[in-house]
């Protein structure tokens, strides 16, 4: 699903976001990207969406070479992926239902599929009763569940989540992680950048640790600080 080799990003001001990052992720994996603030987690996630350009190395996502993908293919490429951010990024003037339906509409899904599938996804994330609510009427956890629903409604092969629990209390954070695990069980590859040490330690999944933009650890199953 992901093949990154010697990937490097140097920002315009000369700061190195990531350096020499080599990571392979198979379809269906569940992966935590961990590391302290400024270690390069978000930079790596953004390179996977080509929101940030590589200055060296190569990255393939689902077989697509991000160095040579055409500019006009990028919106389609990004829409195929599910993306969840810490700050939710919901459309404020649309209801929960409309936010999720909108994600299907931009991929030109049939109206019949939208009417059938949006309610199913909303009940999967526990938001069936809030379908008519607007984002400002929701709690933080509910907003994040809505953004998850939006990210998975098109059944993406890959789901990227950057600090999806960053603004949430511990119980709600666990609900979101459980949902991400459920989504992974349906076959979606899930990559989560997070600081949530307790959750990473408990879930015992693959952990890739970054420090100063470099991979310092990559273990198949373990906790936040575990060594091989
Ligand atoms: N747009 C940018 N321009 C210049 N430097 C940047 C930019 N974005 C990030 N950086 C720098 O790149 C490095 C990696 O930042 P990044 O945001 O990837 O870290 P992070 O691991 O996601 O941190 P956090 O846990 O705080 O979200 C940092 O030194 C940061 O200051
Ligand atoms: Mg970050």
Each residue of 47-63: pLDDT tens digit? 999 999 999 999 999 99
Using DSSP's 3-state secondary structure scheme, residue 61 falls into strand
Helix axes 111-124, 140-152, angle to 10 degrees: 140
Which candidate, 144, 148, 141, places its Cα nearest to that of 124? 148
Q: Is the CB of 222 under 6 A from ligand 1?
A: no
Ligand 1 atom 28, closest CA:
38
Distance (angstroms) between ligand 2 centre and the Cα of 37 equals 7
**What is the percent of the chain where pLDDT is above 70?**
100
Q: Is the CB of 14 under 6 A from ligand 1?
A: no
Quick one: pLDDT at residue 85? 87
Ligand 1 atom 13, closest CA:
17
Distance (angstroms) between ligand 1 centre and the Cα of 19 equals 12
Residues 83-92 have a mean pLDDT of 90
Q: Is the CB of 39 under 6 A from ligand 1?
A: yes
How far is Cα 33 from Cα 191, in angstroms, rounded to an integer? 7
Which candidate, 82, 80, 79, 88, places its Cα nearest to that of 164? 88
Domains of the chain, start order: 1-80+157-228 (3.40.50.300), 91-155 (no CATH)
pLDDT tens digits, 132-141? 999 999 999 9
pTM of the model: 0.94
Q: Is the CB of 76 under 6 A from ligand 1?
A: no
pLDDT confidence bin for 76, thresholds 50/70/90: confident
How far is Cα 226 from Cα 112, in angstroms, rounded to an integer? 48
Quick one: pLDDT at residue 107? 87
Distance (angstroms) between ligand 1 centre and the Cα of 37 equals 8
Largest CA distance in the chain: 50
Quick one: pLDDT at residue 180? 95
CB–CB of 49/73 below 8 Å?
Answer: no
Using DSSP's 3-state secondary structure scheme, residue 155 falls into coil
Quick one: pLDDT at residue 51? 93
Query: Of the ligands numbered here, which is closest to the C-alpha atom of 36?
Result: 1
Query: Is the per-residue pLDDT at 228 higher than 70?
Result: no
Q: Is the CB of 40 under 6 A from ligand 1?
A: yes
């Amino acid at each position: 699903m992901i093949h990154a080799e010697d990937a490097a990003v140097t920002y315009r001001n000369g700061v190195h976001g990531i350096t020499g990052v080599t990571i392979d992720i198979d379809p269906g994996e569940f992966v935590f990207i961990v590391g302290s603030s400024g270690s390069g987690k978000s930079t790596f996630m953004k390179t996977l969406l080509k929101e940030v350009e590589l200055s060296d190395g190569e990255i393939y996502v689902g077989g697509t070479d991000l160095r040579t993908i055409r500019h006009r293919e990028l919106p389609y490429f990004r829409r195929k992926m599910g993306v969840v951010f810490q700050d939710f990024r919901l459309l404020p003037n649309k209801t929960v239902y409309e936010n999720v339906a909108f994600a299907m509409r931009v991929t030109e899904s049939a109206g019949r599929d939208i009417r059938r599938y949006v309610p199913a996804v909303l009940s999967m994330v526990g938001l069936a009763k809030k379908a008519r609510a607007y984002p400002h009427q929701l709690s933080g956890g509910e907003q994040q569940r809505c953004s998850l629903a939006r990210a998975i409604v098109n059944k993406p092969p890959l789901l990227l989540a950057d600090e999806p629990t960053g603004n949430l209390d511990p119980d709600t954070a666990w609900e979101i992680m459980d949902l991400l695990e459920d989504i992974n069980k349906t076959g979606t590859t899930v990559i989560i950048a997070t600081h949530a040490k307790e959750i990473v330690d408990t879930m015992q999944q693959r952990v890739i640790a970054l420090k100063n933009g470099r991979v310092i650890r990559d273990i198949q199953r373990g906790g936040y600080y575990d060594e091989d």
